[in-house]
Homo-oligomer: A and B are copies of this chain.
Amino acid sequence: MKGLFQYNWEVRHAWFKWCLSQPQEELVKKRSGGMGSIKKNLFHIVDVEVSWIYAILEKPDIQPDYSHYQTIQQIARFSDLHRSEIESVIFNYSSAFEHLPVKAAWSDEVCTQGDILRHLIAHEIHHIGQISVWTRESGSAPVSASYIGRKI
């Protein structure tokens, strides 16, 4: 679990950095699939991670408004802002928490902590895979997605 979260944060950070080298129109260009643009995919990844971790922490969902996030730097700050709370869940996680029930405000279903963390891992990698295709379609090289070689 921890290694895959660290991988996701490292890859996400590399994409934020990559975005800073791109013209803004590439980041907001309407694309098919995912959340519809590189910038929206990155915002969505952070938003979903914070929302589920807040549900585990029994904190109210913050529901950020995408229109307030005009730049990649703002999304990167949003990603950094809640990292310590997220780490408090991830780094303290053990099998004792696996089946603990979590009720998110936006769902009727009761989930378990283990399922939520695995959902977050898969959710981010999936949306990053989408960005990698859009990037190749625009003629750029994507950030490496390899887990091996990172020394996490």
The residues of A with any CB-CB pair to B shorter than 8 Å are: 3-4, 7, 31-34, 109, 111, 114-116, 118-119, 121-123, 125-130, 132-137, 142, 145-149, 152
- The distance in angstroms between the C-alpha atoms of A134 and B134, with both chains bound, is 10
Give the oligomeric copy count. 2
Which residues of chain B come closer than 8 Å to A111, judged between CB atoms? 148
Sample (8) of A-B pairs whose CB atoms are under 8 Å apart: A4-B121, A33-B132, A33-B135, A33-B136, A121-B147, A125-B129, A126-B132, A129-B132
- The distance in angstroms between the C-alpha atoms of A145 and B130, with both chains bound, is 12
Select from chain B the residue with minimum beta-carbon distance to A149: B109
Which residues of chain B come closer than 8 Å to A135, judged between CB atoms? 33
